[in-house]
Structure 1
Amino acid sequence: MKLGVFAVLFAQKPLKEALEYIASKGLEAVEIGTGSYPGNAHCNPQELLSDSGKLDQFKKTVEASGLMISALSCHGNPLHPQKPIAKEFHDNLIETIELASKLGVPVVNTFSGCPGDSDDAKYPNWPVAPWPNDYQDLLKWQWEQKVIPYWTEIAKFAQERNVKIGLELHGGFSVHTPATLLKLREAVGETIGANLDPSHMWWQGIDPVQAVHILGREGAIHHFHAKDTTIDPINVNKHGVTDMQSYTLMLDRAWQFRTVGYGHDVKTWADIISALRLVGYDYVVSIEHEDGLMSVDEGFTKAVENLNQILIKEPVGEMWWV
């Protein structure tokens, strides 16, 4: 495995400076934002696709850093019921897939998106209960009319360019659990897989180790994020895991994101890393920092330190004791 980072943490730094800083921490890989929610501070697909000189310079800058690009990421909602919004996310996704193909980057990370409740809707509608039965009818309509048709076309487009799609399992979107990821994968093919982030499993009540096993046995983990979550034992009983309070209200929230090791101990993270190795995932572990109690530099540095203790980097070799 290789240790990497989602470089949007350092959007305020020029690309070259950000890459040099990341490499100075001993990392081997970088995940780069290409637009939509993560922004495109370091990589504008439209620019690079239309200007071969800029594309060559981008390649040289990355190569000079000694880092590999693990994924290009353009998390958005291409299923948004407002067509202009959906189109912007969709166009960015298409451009990112094209760019990944030209760069030889194997994975594009994004969200599945979430449609509205009808063709006339203005806002996404995320059903989370099976009753009243309206919710089941809505969910069926969303998957049959929006989710599966859209991702069938995107999966075909990506496959033709030798690019895999890593969908981040995230609340608020149609694909948010191992089951919903496998449901979409069964419908549209193996180009679709997970960009698995344990932090989003924990707050939904899912054990990340089991999520790794469920997805890994199907070869459905295309990329991996390293971010932690802590659940407040008092606040969760008041607000539940679908707490709608702002992330800024950290003292009152049921759960919040933390840097690796500050929500769950290093042994728990070692179990996750071991599960990844067990199911055959030997790609990049990409640090993502969204910890409201730490600066970017401190949170990133502590994540690097904690993960370096437990990351399994060398090939297994033969079982000499067998």
Structure 2
Amino acid sequence: MKLGVFTVLFSDKNLDEMLDHVSAKGIEAVELGTGGYPGDAHCNVEELLGDEKKRSEFMEKISSRGMIVSALSCHANPLHPQKKIAEEADALFDKTVQLANLLKVPVVNTFSGCPGDHENAKYPNWPVAPWPNDYQEILKWQWEEKIIPYWREKAQFAEKHDVKIGLELHGGFSVHTPANLLRLREACGPAIGANLDPSHMWWQGIDPVESIKILGRENAIHHFHAKDTIIDQPNMNRNGLTDMTSYSYMQNRSWYFRTVGFGHDTKVWADIISALRLYGYDYVVSIEHEDGLMSIDEGFTKAIQNLMPVMVKESVGDMWWT
């Protein structure tokens, strides 16, 4: 396994500055944003798609520092009911897949998106309750008319370009649990998998280790984010897990993101890493920093310090003791 970072947290640095900074910390892989919510500070899709020489120079900067690109990430909402927003996300996804193919990057990460509740809707509708029955009707329409048709086409497109799709299981989007992911994968094929982030499992009440087992049995984990979450139980009792309190009001939130080790201890993270290996994931653990209590550098550094001791770097080979 390799330790990586989602480089969006260093968007204030240019590519060379960012690569020097993270490589000096012992990082072995970078996950690069190509637009959408993450921005494209370190990976200009249009520029790289149109120039083979620039692509070669781009990859040389990364490989010369002993690193790989674990994924290109274009998190957005390609199913947004507002046509302009959806079309921009869709075009970005296609270009990101094409670039990943040219750069030989195996995974493109994004969100599943979330449609509205009818053809003329203006905003996404995220049903989270089975009753009143209106929500079941909305959910059925979304999956049958929007989600499956769109991702079936995109899965075929990705397969054609020898790229896997890592959908981040994130609240507010249609695919946000292992069950959602496997439903879409069954309908669209194995190009669809998870960019699994345990922080979003915890706040939904899902044990990340169990989510790894559920998805790992189906070989459905394509990429992995390392981010932590803390549950504030008194606020959870008051607000519930679908807490709409702004992230900036951390004292009043039911849950909020922490850097690795500050929501759950080393043993929990050791169990997560071990479960990944047990179920066949031997790729990159990509640090994502969204901790409102720590600076970027402090949170990033502490995540590395807490992950390094539990990373599994070598496969066992033969079980020599039997």
Q: TM-score, normalised by structure 1?
A: 0.99
Whether 1:235 aligns to 2:235 is yes
- Displacement after TM superposition at 1:64 (Å): 2.0
- Residue identity matched to 1:4: G
- CA deviation digits over 1:60-109, x for unaligned, max 9? 22222221000000000000000000001111100000000000000000
- Residue identity matched to 2:286: S
- Residue identity matched to 2:46: Q
> CA separation in 2, counterparts of 1:63 and 1:287?
19
Whether 1:288 aligns to 2:280 is no
Counterpart of 1:224 in structure 2 is 224
Q: Equivalent residues in 2 for 1:101-140 (5 A)?
A: 101-140=101-140
Q: CA RMSD in A?
A: 0.7
Q: Equivalent residues in 2 for 1:245-264 (5 A)?
A: 245-264=245-264
Counterpart of 2:16 in structure 1 is 16
> CA separation in 2, counterparts of 1:280 and 1:53?
36
- Displacement after TM superposition at 1:240 (Å): 0.4
Q: Equivalent residues in 2 for 1:1-322 (5 A)?
A: 1-322=1-322
> CA separation in 2, counterparts of 1:104 and 1:47?
17
- Displacement after TM superposition at 1:54 (Å): 2.3
> CA separation in 1, counterparts of 2:195 and 2:277?
16
- Displacement after TM superposition at 1:52 (Å): 2.6
- CA deviation digits over 1:132-184, x for unaligned, max 9? 00100100000000000000110000000100000000000000000000000
- Residue identity matched to 1:70: S
- Displacement after TM superposition at 1:229 (Å): 0.1
> CA separation in 1, counterparts of 2:71 and 2:280?
18
- Residue identity matched to 1:120: N
- Displacement after TM superposition at 1:233 (Å): 1.2
Question: Mind listing any 5+ residue stretches in structure 2 that lack a counterpart?
Answer: none
> CA separation in 1, counterparts of 2:321 and 2:48?
52
> CA separation in 2, counterparts of 1:64 and 1:80?
40
Give the length in aligned residue pairs.
Answer: 322
- Displacement after TM superposition at 1:53 (Å): 3.0
Query: Secondary structure of 1:234's partner?
Result: helix
Query: Secondary structure of 2:156's partner?
Result: helix
Identical amino acids, percent of aligned pairs: 69
